[in-house]
Amino acid sequence: MAGDGTLPPTLSRRTWTGFWKTAVLITVLITAASLTSACMSVAGGAPSSGKNGAGGTLRIAMSAGNIPFPTTPPDQGYEGYRFVGNNIYDGLTKYNLDQNAAIPTPQPALATSWTVSPDQLTWTFNLRRGVTFHDGTPFNADAVIFQLNREDDPHFKYYDTLAAARLATYLIFFKNWRKIDDYTVSITTTQPYAWLLYDLAHVFFPSPTVVQTYGNANYNQHATGTGPFIMTKYIDGQVMELTANDHYWGGRPKLDKIVLYPQPVAASRVAMLQSNGVDWAEVPSPDAINQLRSQGYQIFMGEYPHGIMPRFNLFRAPFKGNVKLRQALNFALNRQGITALVNNVGYPAKQYVYPGHPNYDPAFPGYAYDPAKAKQLLADAGYQPGQLHLKFAYPTGGSGNMFPDPMMQQLQADFKAVGVDVELMPMEWSTIVSIGLTGLDKPEWSNIDILWSSPAAGQEPDGFMLNFLCQRPGGQPNAAGMCNPDVDRNYFAASREFDPRKSTGYLQKMMDAALTDADFLFWMHDLNLRVMSPSVHGFVQPKSWWVDFGKIWVGEQCCGSQSNG
């Protein structure tokens, strides 16, 4: 303040008056607009609904952190195949996902039939005629050869490095391929390989015209396949709309549209469902199930090839060469207790695959909770209570990992009860993946005794390659040091055996070897939890990570009660 008591120089009175008037006016306008728009959106914002057993828009809240890229193959793991890959594209084969009686197997798709040469090295595929890509380009042998070159020939002009890298595991046994005529192609493998049809279900075919027009770098915004749905809108990180393909060779799907939203937070997915923002929410929180059921939502759970099967570090002590120790920890685990903790969205695992799976051995009793036996085996293994201290690395989240935090805390208590101390090492899921690709024998990870693993346990027979083999054909490192000659021998025998029953027999022997040696912590089977609005009809929960959208339709938009119920 000036010495004469006059006011310090500031903005004029008119300016301040105008400022306040403007501020109040803006506030009033925003509030009015919000409330008006809120009323409009709740009252009139419902998407289209079908009737008479067809039609409607299905809105899905995925657990992925982003919309899967519509590349070939898509990213985001099996969630990418489930929602994007299998809808926009087809492979030469595809799984029969519209049933839940048995685990799906490869069926004719863009290939209608095939033969195998006497030496079992060359497969000849007869391609489906009259199929066009969404842009009108005809599907034929040229398109097949184009894509196989794009995925596996580094010298090809349109070779896609990233896609090739992601698909590499499924092309390990591909030696060469050629066009025989416009609707016949042959694929020669490096060895007799009975599971080629499973691998081909992962190889999708984009329109060569689109790839050539836009190039690999810009393909995503113009993704074009032959599949039952056409990508009609795609905003990276926000939304993807898939519109029914009226000319789909397998018959037009019943739905008019699928809309995909990414939402990695379970509570938010549930809120999106309850607010009528979506009709389908993946993996809600287990503790929300009772409320959702009481509100009339459809809760889907069912056995499918997915488990939590942590791997012991078999490169060194204490687990290397110590079968009794590994067995002891398997008997120390109170699986029922953990099942109750996660509100029964999983169930105890006795073996690597679920009971009823083709590779499940009913003759093997498996592992169950028996702390007395665990203590005895621990002593036999050379450890008294309190002597063993283990480090267990696990993810804090990640799609397909169920609910690691509470599960791990229960495990820690179970092991403590038999005298084994466990230090929990929470990590990001991408770090766990990195460890799996680097190996527990590397200095930076060698202090980890047990590594979390959540395999698609038995979705495809070649999937066992990831965790079981001493040396993987693709050259991937042996992550946990498991090296059981019986396992490897039976796996490769199964892969060469074209008689399904004999192949299954080899895989069961492989399982027996791994079970006897307790090479894994056989922990939990997941029950594939998802929840849908009562307006969703025709959904069949298959025994698979993937889903068929062809027979689903959405009726009148009526969602559960608005009570807290």
Partner 1 sequence: MLRIAIQRLVMAIPILIGVTVIVFLLVNVLPGDPAAAILGDNATPAARVQIAHQLGLDQPLALRYLHWLGHILSGNLGYSPYRQRPVADLLTQAVGNTLALATASALVGLLGGVLLGFIAGRRRGTLTDRVISIVGLSGLSIPSFFLAVVLLMIFSANLRWFPAAGTGLDVSFVAFFPHVVLPLIAGSLTTLAITTRVTRASIVETEGSDFVLTLQAKGLGSTQISRHVLKNAISPVLTTSGLQVGYLLGGSILIETIFSWPGIGMLVYNAITTRDLIVVQGATLVVALTFVVVNLIVDLLQATIDPRLRRAVQ
Binding residues among 372-431 for partner 1 as defined by CB under 8 A = 427-431
- The separation between CA 465 and the C-alpha centre of its own chain, rounded to angstroms, equals 17
Could you give the CA distance from residue 130 to residue 139 in angstroms, rounded to a whole number? Answer: 8
Please state the closest distance from residue 347 (CB atom) to partner 1, in A: 24
Which of the ranges 24-32, 105-113, 341-349, 491-499 carries the binding residues for partner 1, by CB under 8 A? Answer: 24-32
Which lies closer to partner 1 via its Cβ, residue 42 or residue 180? 42
For residue 89, which amino acid is it?
Answer: Y
Q: Does 213 bind partner 1 (CB under 8 A)?
A: no
Please state the closest distance from residue 301 (CB atom) to partner 1, in A: 21
Which lies closer to partner 1 via its Cβ, residue 295 or residue 410? 295
Which lies closer to partner 1 via its Cβ, residue 4 or residue 246? 4
Q: Per CB under 8 A, which of residues 50..69 are in contact with partner 1? A: 61, 65-66, 69
Could you give the CA distance from residue 90 to residue 96 in angstroms, rounded to a whole number? Answer: 13
Sign of CA dihedral 189, 191, 197, 198: negative
* DSSP H helices in 81-240: 86-88, 141-152, 161-167, 196-200, 208-214
CA dist list (Å): 1 to 4, 7, 9, 14, 98? 8, 6, 9, 21, 82
What dihedral angle (degrees, nearest 10) is formed by the CA atoms of 204, 205, 211, 213? -150
Q: Per CB under 8 A, which of residues 231..250 are in contact with partner 1? A: 235-239
Please state the closest distance from residue 367 (CB atom) to partner 1, in A: 25
Please state the closest distance from residue 218 (CB atom) to partner 1, in A: 9
CB atoms inside a 10 Å sphere around CB 297: 24
Q: Contact with partner 1 (CB under 8 A): which of 436, 481, 542, 550? A: 436
Determine the length of the chain.
565
**Contact yes or no for 528/547 (Cβ under 8 A):** no
Total site size for partner 1, rule CB under 8 A: 76
Q: By C-alpha distance, which of 516, 20, 429 is closest to 437?
A: 429
> Strand, coil or helix: what is 120?
coil
Please state the closest distance from residue 30 (CB atom) to partner 1, in A: 7
Q: By C-alpha distance, which of 88, 336, 380, 127 is closest to 207?
A: 88
Write the binding mask 462 to 501 for partner 1: x where contact by CB under 8 A, - elsewhere: ----x-------xxxx------------------------
Q: Contact with partner 1 (CB under 8 A): which of 276, 330, 399, 401? A: 276
Please state the closest distance from residue 408 (CB atom) to partner 1, in A: 18
Please state the closest distance from residue 203 (CB atom) to partner 1, in A: 14
Sign of CA dihedral 311, 314, 316, 317: positive
Q: Does 44 bind partner 1 (CB under 8 A)?
A: no
Question: 């828009």: which residue's tokens?
Answer: 57
Which of the ranges 19-27, 48-56, 133-141, 319-327 carries the binding residues for partner 1, by CB under 8 A? Answer: 19-27
Which lies closer to partner 1 via its Cβ, residue 198 or residue 367? 198
Q: Contact with partner 1 (CB under 8 A): which of 124, 126, 169, 209? A: 169
Which of the ranges 26-34, 189-197, 316-324, 382-390 carries the binding residues for partner 1, by CB under 8 A? Answer: 26-34
Q: Contact with partner 1 (CB under 8 A): which of 194, 272, 374, 494? A: 272
The edge-to-edge listing of strands for the beta sheet with 184-189 is 111-116, 122-127, 184-189, 174-181
Q: Contact with partner 1 (CB under 8 A): which of 57, 140, 207, 263? A: 263
Please state the closest distance from residue 67 (CB atom) to partner 1, in A: 10
Q: Per CB under 8 A, which of residues 81..100 are in contact with partner 1? A: none
Which lies closer to partner 1 via its Cβ, residue 181 or residue 444? 444
Q: Contact with partner 1 (CB under 8 A): which of 28, 34, 382, 387? A: 34
Which are the contacts of 7, defined by CB distance < 8 A and separation ≥ 6? 1
Which of the ranges 1-9, 85-93, 315-323, 353-361 carries the binding residues for partner 1, by CB under 8 A? Answer: 1-9
Q: Does 155 bind partner 1 (CB under 8 A)?
A: no
Q: 148 in the Ramachandran plot: left (φ > 0), alpha (ψ -120 to 50) or beta?
A: alpha
Which lies closer to partner 1 via its Cβ, residue 54 or residue 148? 148
Could you give the CA distance from residue 422 to residue 8 in angstroms, rounded to a whole number? Answer: 68
Which lies closer to partner 1 via its Cβ, residue 282 or residue 414? 282
Please state the closest distance from residue 399 (CB atom) to partner 1, in A: 11
Q: 232 in the Ramachandran plot: left (φ > 0), alpha (ψ -120 to 50) or beta?
A: alpha
CB atoms inside a 10 Å sphere around CB 466: 17
Q: Does 363 bind partner 1 (CB under 8 A)?
A: no
Q: 46 in the Ramachandran plot: left (φ > 0), alpha (ψ -120 to 50) or beta?
A: beta
Q: Contact with partner 1 (CB under 8 A): which of 301, 368, 379, 433? A: 433
